[in-house]
Structure formats: C-alpha cells, structure tokens
Structure 1
C-alpha cells in the first residue's frame, strides 16, 4: 500500500502517513498519562499526604496495572462493533477521568481514579494494533509499527518536560487538565478522519465462549507466545526504569531539575532506533533484526550490572548504557509484536487484547517489582535488565524451536 492508499470498509479515506500519525497519537496518550506525571510526583505526594519513599511510585504503577488489566476487554468488542466506537469510548473515558483526577483531594482517591482511568482507556493500546493488522502483515506490518513507535515514543521523551513546564506556571492538577484536552482533540480527529478498518467478513460474535476461544487460540500459539512474553519482560524492565527514574536519576545521580532533560535524552534513542528499524526490517526481516537486538541487549545489560557495582555513582557510565538499552528496544518491540500478531488476521482484535494484556499487565507487575526494589543504588535495576533480557531470549528460543535468525516471509519482488 502506498501513502495515498484508501483504507477499505468505510467511505472515509486516509493516507498511510496520516494513519501512522493518528495511531501513534492514540497510543501515546497513555504514555503521556504516565511520563507526564514524573516531575510532579513529589508535589502530588506532598499535597495529598502520601508517605515519602517508594509510595509515590503508585501514581504510575496503578495506572500501568489497570491499563494492562483493561486490555482484556476492548479487543473482542472491536472485533464485533468495529474499531472506531471503541476508540471514541476510550478517548471519552480518558478525558473525563483526567478532569476528575484534577479535582481530587485525597491520595487514595487519586489512585482509585487512576485505576479506573487505566482500565477504561485500555482501548487506546489494543485497538490501534488491530487497525494496523487489518491493513498489513509480516515485515510490512513491522515496518509500519516501527514508524508508529518512532512517533509515539516521542511523547515519553518530551512528556516529563511538558509536565515540568506546566509546574512552572501552575500546579500539578493542570497536567491532568492538559491530558483531558489532548484526549478531546484526538477524539475529534478520530471522528472526522479515521475510517472503519474492520472487514465485515471478520466480525465476531459477542459471547463468552467465542471470546474465550479466540483469546485462547491467540495465546497458546507456540510461534506467538514466546514473543508476547518476551516483550512483557523487556517492557517490564522499562517500566521499572520509569517507576524509579525520578529517584534513580533525580536523587541518586543528583541531577535535580535537569531530570526531564536527562530522562528524555535516554528515551530519545528509541525514536532513532525505530526509524532505523522501519528502514531495514523489510530488507533483513523482523526475526533477524530482533534476534540480533536481544543478544546485544543482554551484552549491554551485563555491562550495566558491572558498572552498577564498580562505577555506582557515575552518571557518565549509566546514561550511555541506559540510552543504548532503550535504543535496542526499537529493534525489539515492533518486530516482536508483528511476529506475534502474524497468525491472527481474522481475530486481530481478540489477539491484540490478550497479547497486549500480557505485555502491559505483566510488564506493569514486573516494573512494579523492579521499582519497589530500588534501594538508593542502580544495582537492582541493572540486575533486572539482565534477567529480563535473558528470559526474553529463552522465550524466543521456545517460539522458534531453538533456531534463531530464520526468515519465514522473504520480501516481495518489486513489480516490473
């Protein structure tokens, strides 16, 4: 498909570039609801009476856990009623609960509302993947997902700076007002421009046996499950970084108000690597690129463990290694996800739901454990990086039956 290709099953038309941007925006809203909070955690905890230390991390962790849990629901409904209705419902929930959180006066109530918001906005993670799978498959899908990732990962890069900028002129509550505004703007864009991409022939019935059957099929497939759980471990390591970043970088490495810049500098490597991946994945194949990436990730993580013990207070060691790890995710996340979705064209919504649930909820649990293990040093986090990356490699071995670097779908020959 070219940049001007019409998406079927709807009278609306949208080009490939606009599709990439709008899908990236939808997926990035949840990232904004996570990373935009980081500079405000101290102020939120102080004003609402939360205890000091690791408890402030629950502002992030609760949303991540709820968002992952909520991913079980929207895919099945998107397979029945279409992609657009689920997106609009998720966006409305995102904006309404952002405004409610802006008015909260109690830390426990804030966590409750964050949890509800995370569940109801989970469609923003599930449905965009199904939309891409409706139109593309294989290495072509991996390329598009890399382009989407390159755009939406820009949000975690700049989100702490956005939060910091809001704090310069107003209190932390205005960060949530900003989230509500972004959700509203995205809803208008979806309503006006995004076509319905679900093929009517692929509509599924809404009943428990059908939903369970479709999710079970998507979950137990050997060629898929290792990539799903491997992604869960790698994203879990990143969530552990996000949960503890303000303490680790801002306090342990004492960067203070420069935290948003330092955090953004490491995360920016994911943008670069996703762009590079989008240019090479169709040539070399998603498996070859991602298998190489996970092996290098293990090597860099081993060096990170060494540095955490023998250069424990050196930001000059930590930052380049962390930036490299995050950069390598650009060669893993989109490719792993595309490989995992390959067998499920007719149940893309249900497959996206169950896979995103394990990736996001499982990763949130892993990230919470890693974040809560913070002891004032980088050592627990560095060890977690190594364990998660080795685990991901073993899971890929399982899905690939012990053979790496295979290419199952070579690139199509160019037309004469």
Structure 2
C-alpha cells in the first residue's frame, strides 16, 4: 500500500465541498455561458436561434461519451490519475472554444470539454461509493448537491458580469482557472481510495466483462433510465432557459436572478433528501416525489392549454420551483440506488450509469429544445410523458429487487 493510500480520509465537510466542486465544474462550464449565448450566436453567425442550444447540449453529450472511457480507466489506474487526465482534455476543449470562429468549431470544443469533464463525474461518484453505501451514500450525495447548487445559482451572474467587462471568450478563461484551482486542491488533499490490489486490468476482456455485468443488471438499468428521464426533464429546461425567459416572459435582463431561484429549489430538494432519506429510504423518497412532479407538470400543461402556451411568470415560478426540487430528490436517489448495487466495480458502474442517463437526457433535451417556439406546452407534455415512464421503470425495479433499501 502506498503512502498516499495510507493517509486518513478527509473530514466529511471538506470531502463534501471538494466533491461538490468537482461535480460543479460541468455545471459552471454550462451555466456561466448561458447569458452570453445571444452574443456567442451573433459572433459565430448562427442563423437559427435554437441552434445555439447545441452549445449546451454538446457538453452533456461529451460527458455521456467520455464516462464510458473514464470509468474503466478509473477502476484500472486509480481515481486521481483519471481526474488529472480528464482535466487536461477539458482545458484543451476550453482553448478550442475560446478560439472558435464558427459554430462547428465551438461545438467541437464543447464536445471536447464535455468528454474531459466526464472524468469528474465518474471520479466523484466512485470516491463517494468507495467511502459510503446505501442510504448513507444517498445522504452524502445530498450534502454534495447542497454545496454543488451554489455554483449553478451564481454561474449566470458570474458569466453576465464577465461579459459586461470583457468578451464571452473570457468566460472560458475563468472556467479553466476554476478547474485548475479545484484540481490543485484535490491533488494536495484527497487520498487515493482505490487500493492497488483492487484495481482491474485495463484490457478489452476485463473491461468488457465489467460492462456486461452492469448492462445486464436489469435493476441497475431501470434506475439508470429513470435517472435519465428526470434528468432529461431538467436538461430540456436548462438548454432553453435563456430563450424561455427572454422570449416567453420578456425578462432577459433578470434571467440570472430567475435562474438562481430555480437552482435554489434544487438545493431545497437536496436538503430535504439529506434529512429524510435515512428515515424513509431511497425508494420511498422517489415514491413520494414522483406524484408531486407529475401533478405539477399536469397543472402547468393545463394552464398552457388555456393561455396559448404562455403561463403567467409568477405562476410558472410558483409551480416550477417545487417541481424542480422533486427532480433533484429523484435524480439523487436513482443514482444512489443504481450505484449501491455496483460497489465492486464503482468506476465502470459510475461510467455506465452516468453515460446512459446522460445520453437519455441529451436526447430528451434536443428533441424538446429544437421544438421551442416561444411557448411552453411542449415542455410540460414531455415532463408528463417522462414522469409516467419513470413510474413504470420504478415499479419494475421494485418488483425485481424488493429489498434494496433493507
């Protein structure tokens, strides 16, 4: 065992903050650029406004693809080397974005960013799973989300401030600096959690066996698809959020404030989950959240039908805030339930769970986002549809594995 592996684990508070910062690098790279999307589109001569949404979607697509590579590497070479390589790829993508002079190069840069930053999701999930399991893992993940949510709340404000002083290219400089500072803290303080004797060989046969084990585990796949459905509902909103507040509600200048309110609702969901999951269990937290989510989406759908697809802003916010915190509760617990069953292959498990759920979410966001026409009816139709599909997946998983929370 190396000296690094003999080091004591981090105090819980520091561990939570560090995992949150690692996880939030992707969120910051997405959310900080949102206020600048109109400027980026104009600078890159984008003619279809909905095409600008791809600048967000490509990061998520890159993450989905990247995790399939970083997972096996994480189980083979360790958590820390995997993160370092991922951050290098992310920084390369940031340079491509800064220097892009057309939409194609911007999308290539964002895809590269996403591929690299996928390592942070795999590594952080694996580190949490190395240290915790079951309800306690879900509780720690909720703590991580509570700290994590600060970044999406402030990122659009940071991005708006940067472009008011400089250009949209400078946003990518700030993103790169944040990645370097977080990686430095990680390198100095976080011990390696994957012992040498537990590492898997990085061969096609070994990796293939691990992937086969995950992909043929019906309960894991059901929870992963459920996670993808609820994440897809959120991502559909995220990619179109700037356009929604500008075109639907005509409050473009106040967009960062409303975006922060939505992000804060995620923090409420994380707080409630951290307090309740130990008592009620992961599965019941999903059961309690799903009807609320579907019910609120249904009310907003009916409101849209009677208001030409444009609900009043106050009503949209009043109903969307609780709906989004239920999404957080479901997302956290679906991820924890899937990973709970994959502790012996946490890296590959995190890769498949993260990649598959992200791919489902990206597909949902592209299909819905490209149909945005200034009205919101399509969003709430998709939310109800995804919610009902999630109900079916949850019931299937419960029948196949009734004692998961015991």
Cα distance in 1, alignment partners of residues 405 and 314 from structure 2: 42
1:282 aligns with 2:281: no
Q: 1:74 to 1:354 in 2, by over 3 A?
A: same
The one of 104, 127, 131 aligned to 2:127: 131
Pairing 1:20–2:16 present: yes
Change (3 A) 1:144 1:288: same
- Name structure 1 gaps, 5 residues minimum: 1-6, 411-416
- Does structure 1 conserve the Cα–Cα contact (< 8 Å) formed by 2:232 and 2:361? yes
> Is 1:342 aligned to 2:378, yes or no?
no
Residue in structure 1 matching 2:351, options 344, 353, 375: 353
Secondary structure of residue in 1 paired with 2:343: coil
> What is the Cα deviation at residue 306 of structure 1?
0.9
List per-residue Cα deviations over 1:329-378 (Å, max 9, x = no partner): 23211111111111211111011101111111221111111111112201
Query: Structure 2 regions of 5+ residues with no counterpart?
Result: none
CA contact (8 A) 1:285 1:407 kept: no
- The CA distance in 1 between the partners of 2:8 and 2:131, in whole Å, is 15
In the alignment of these two chains, the number of paired residues is 402
- Report the secondary structure of 1:332's partner residue: helix
Partner residue of 2:218?
A: 222
* Offset, 1:8: 8.9
Q: Which residue of 2 aligns with 1:397?
A: 395
Given that residues 229 and 361 in structure 2 are in contact (C-alpha distance below 8 angstroms), is that contact kept between their aligned partners in structure 1? yes
Query: Which residue does 1:414 correspond to in 2?
Result: none
Alignment match, 1:3: none
Alpha-carbon distance between aligned partners in 1 of 2:6 and 2:100, rounded to the nearest angstrom: 41
Show CA shifts across 1:308-335 (max 9, x none): 2124241121112221111112321111
How far residue 409 of structure 1 moved from its aligned partner, in angstroms, is: 3.9
> 2:234·2:327 contact (CA, 8 Å) conserved in 1?
no
Residue 326 (structure 1) aligned with residue 319 (structure 2): no
Partner of 2:314: 316
- The normalised TM-score by structure 2 is 0.95
Tell me which protein shows more helix as a share of its residues. 2
1:253 pairs with one of 249, 260, 266? 249
Q: Deviations over 1:71-123 (max 9, x none)?
A: 11101111011000011111222233323322222222111111122112211
Q: Residue 11 of structure 1: CA displacement? A: 2.4
| Equivalent position of 1:194 in the other structure | 190
Give the structure 2 partner of residue 370 of structure 1. Answer: 368
Match of 1:61 in 2: 57
**What is the alpha-carbon distance in structure 2 between the residues aligned to residue 297 and residue 185 of structure 1?**
37
Question: Following the alignment from structure 1 to structure 2, what is the Cα–Cα distance between the partners of residues 152 and 226?
Answer: 26
Distance change in 2, residues 1:257/1:13 (3 Å): same
Written as runs of structure 1 = structure 2, the 5 A alignment for 1:233-248 is: 233-248=229-244
Matches of 1:259 and 1:273, distance apart in 2: 22
After the TM superposition, which parts of structure 1 deviate over 6 Å for at least 4 consecutive aligned residues?
A: none
Tell me the distance in 1 between the aligned counterparts of 2:286 and 2:342: 20
Q: 1:374 and 1:357, CA in 2 relative to 1: closer, same or farther beyond 3 A?
A: same
Distance 1:47 1:37 in 2: 14
TM-score (norm 1): 0.93
- Counterpart secondary structure, 1:347: helix
